[in-house]
Amino acid sequence: MSETRLQSKIPAGPLAEKWTRFKAEAKVVSPANKRKLEIIVVGTGLGGASAAATLGELGFNVKVFCISDSPRRAHSIAAQGGINAAKNYQNDNDSVYRLFYDTIKGGDFRAREANVYRLAEVSSAIIDKCVAQGVPFARDYGGLLDNRSFGGAQVSRTFYARGQTGQQLLLGAYASLNRQIAAGTVKSYNRREMLDLVVIDGKAKGIIVRNLETGEIERHGAHAVVLATGGYGNAYFLSTNAMNSNVSAAIQCYKKGAFFANPCYVQIHPTCIPVHGDQQSKLTLMSESLRNDGRIWVPKKLEDVEKLRKKQIKPSQIAEEDRDYYLERRYPAFGNLVPRDVASRAAKERCDAGFGVNETGLAVFLDFSTAIERLGKKVIEERYGNLFQMYEKITDVNPYEEPMQIYPAIHYTMGGIWVDYELMTTIPGLYAIGEANFSDHGGNRLGASALMQGLADGYYVLPYTIGQYLSKEIQTPKTDVNAPEFVAAEKAVKEKIAKLFKIKGKQTVDGLHKKLYKIMWNKVGMARNEAGLKEALKEIEALRKEFWNDVLVPGKNEEFNQELEKALRLIDFMEVGKLIALDALNRRESCGGHFREESQSEGGETKRDDENFMHVAAWEYKGEKQDPVRHEEPLVYETVKLATRNYKD
């Protein structure tokens, strides 16, 4: 069902001129009027921090909220490998078009052309900005910036700061934010969690937050609200996301009328440390950059697998000719650098066939011996030293001597709140940026593109597009937080919290969340089918009932209460879990990270159905008792020729 409400607002004209044309025609707000306008930014990762700092620099009054004790803790900090930009510093024939095309292709032709082209266009300026802020990117001996390669690309366009690129970029954005806080243009509210969006006369006008230290419920008003709250990977409990990353703010917006797009596009990262036991709380990512020099393999012979599992031999004792470098075998052109979804499924295929190398049978090797031979230990240490150290601390195995063990894990969510070209949601005045929106990565995100998108949205896109809306709000007075809509939203939040304490059941929040994990990972994970998805939907519904009858939340609201925080988040993880399963069930094709077993090629690769599914699916909330309604935004490719993704030759 196509609908008029999904107006993508893509500017007319040739692809390469759309953004220029948009900027030429876009409305701007004068400095005197900017001072009168208030903007709320929720979240302080790369998207939120860069947006808040830039909007502050421009002269708006910004209020920024984060759930941690400091904006610097946001989960962008954990991104390791790098950030893409079409600088072509390596003279290897990179260009805006090539970055655009790689991203569209990597996303399996399920992203908007115009958004992705704009992303590639502004990517260069991000690197300039970060260097000006003092981000210590890696350099060569001549003092110029160094690059590395990442999955899904045949050029070197990834800028990096050792294995801590996300940290360094976030510290840059956080420093700019701090400068604005000191200047008084931005006010920062830490340890605050957004629990509802307030909509007045159809426009986003503010938020309800809980002060996590005191339990106080607060009302905050503004002329516009920007959601920069990240993805929903923690619906799966075990993921590479930080423990506090959650989808609650996005789900409240969804319930207030923001459509949720493509929830089934979930990225499973191929190189994570395997699960060790059921007391585990999270999974640790090993950067994709490791695939630059690491080779992925499993034994060719099942008897070697048997011996490995019984610890009778070490992996290094298996002869070269008895190793199956299955990515190099299956995808000669890209080898170990195929995109993430392809690498993950290939690992699953080998493990399902019985070649998994640890006791659980769910692990493959990532081996550096060839690279160490070729480059020497020192070079490898310089490139990946901190990652190797981290691996050894967690597993007690020295990766300089024996290969790492890795297995795919939930990592990133391409789906998110639907936004138009201006990054505005279906609620006027509500914007979504970074991982929280759906717009740029299609069915699969390429490595080092999340950092690029978060910063592009915050530094260079939203500050240009938000004027379109705010230029019409210059006469609007300050939002009154005593308006009935605020009072009602606050009351609803308080009632929900009170209801949780009243249940006094027997199960802990984590126990229930682990049940959701089993449903999601087994039936809505790396491979999905109709029967499994239908079961998952029933099971999530049953779990929801179980939660509301049997959850045990200790303590009270008026205190620092981490169990209450987790309980509130789990309610929304169940809601998004249902959305993921429903979307996966309705998308009867395979594309990118979404693999429907019913739709695959003979070689087991994803098989798209462009005739029926070349669209964005956006879900509209219809209340507790009804299923959400699916809307479609057709994807029109004016420039790119559709092709089957091929990483073989």
Partner 1 sequence: MKFKLQIWRQKNAKAKGRFETYRVDNISPDTSFLEMLDILNDQLIREGKEPVAFDHDCREGICGMCSLYINGHAHGPDDGITTCQLHMRKFKDGDTIVIEPWRSVGFPVVKDLVVNRNAFDQILQAGGFISCNGIVPDANNLPISKIDADESMDASACIGCGACVATCKNGSAMLFVAARVSALAKLPQGKVEGARRAKAMVAKMDELGFGSCTNTQACEAECPKGISIAHIARLNREFLLAKIKD
* Contacting partner 1 within 163-182 (CB under 8 A): 164, 167-168, 171, 174-176, 178-179, 181-182
CA distance 86 to 334: 20
Question: DSSP string covering 21-73, please?
Answer: HHHHH-----HHHHTT-EEEEE--SHHHHHHHHHHHHHT-EEEEE-SSSSGGG
- Nearer CB in complex with partner 1: 138/503: 138
Parallel, antiparallel, or unpaired: how do β-strands 186-189 and 61-65 relate? parallel
- Nearer CB in complex with partner 1: 122/584: 122
Contact between 64 and partner 1 (CB under 8 A)? no
Q: Of these, 128, 306, 352, 541, which contacts partner 1 (CB under 8 A)?
A: 128
Q: Measure CA 381 to chain center.
A: 29
Q: Of these, 313, 555, 588, 646, which contacts partner 1 (CB under 8 A)?
A: 555
Stretch that binds partner 1, among 13-21, 74-82, 293-301, 407-415 (CB under 8 A): 74-82
Only one residue has tokens 């640790």, namely 284
Neighbour-count burial for 411-440, b at 16+ CB within 10 Å, e otherwise: bbbbbbbbbbbbbbbbbbbbbbbbbbbbbb
Q: Of these, 207, 357, 380, 390, which contacts partner 1 (CB under 8 A)?
A: 390
3-state secondary structure of 630: strand
- Nearer CB in complex with partner 1: 2/562: 562
192 vs 40, 43, 232, 237, CA distance in Å? 13, 10, 19, 22
* Residue 424, phi then psi, degrees to nearest 5: -90, 140
3-state secondary structure of 406: strand
Q: Of these, 87, 255, 309, 630, which contacts partner 1 (CB under 8 A)?
A: 87
Site for partner 1 in 406-465 (CB under 8 A): none
Q: How far apart are CB 174 and partner 1 at their closest, in Å?
A: 8
User: Catalytic: which of 219, 323, 340, 544?
Assistant: 340
- The number of beta carbons lying within 10 Å of the beta carbon of residue 255 is 16
Q: How far apart are CB 531 and partner 1 at their closest, in Å?
A: 34
Site for partner 1 in 229-258 (CB under 8 A): 242-244
- Nearer CB in complex with partner 1: 363/635: 363
x/- binding map, residues 210-229, to partner 1, per CB under 8 A?
A: ---x----------------
Q: Measure CA 524 to chain center.
A: 17
Site for partner 1 in 330-359 (CB under 8 A): none
Number of continuous H segments (helices) and E segments (strands) in the chain: 19, 19
Is 295 considered catalytic here? no
Q: How far apart are CB 554 and partner 1 at their closest, in Å?
A: 5
Q: Of these, 17, 541, 559, 638, which contacts partner 1 (CB under 8 A)?
A: 559
Contact between 70 and partner 1 (CB under 8 A)? yes
Alpha helices in 418-508 (DSSP H): 450-455, 462-470, 484-503
Contact between 611 and partner 1 (CB under 8 A)? no
Q: Of these, 23, 134, 601, 646, which contacts partner 1 (CB under 8 A)?
A: 134
- Nearer CB in complex with partner 1: 167/413: 167
Q: Which residues are known to be catalytic?
A: 340
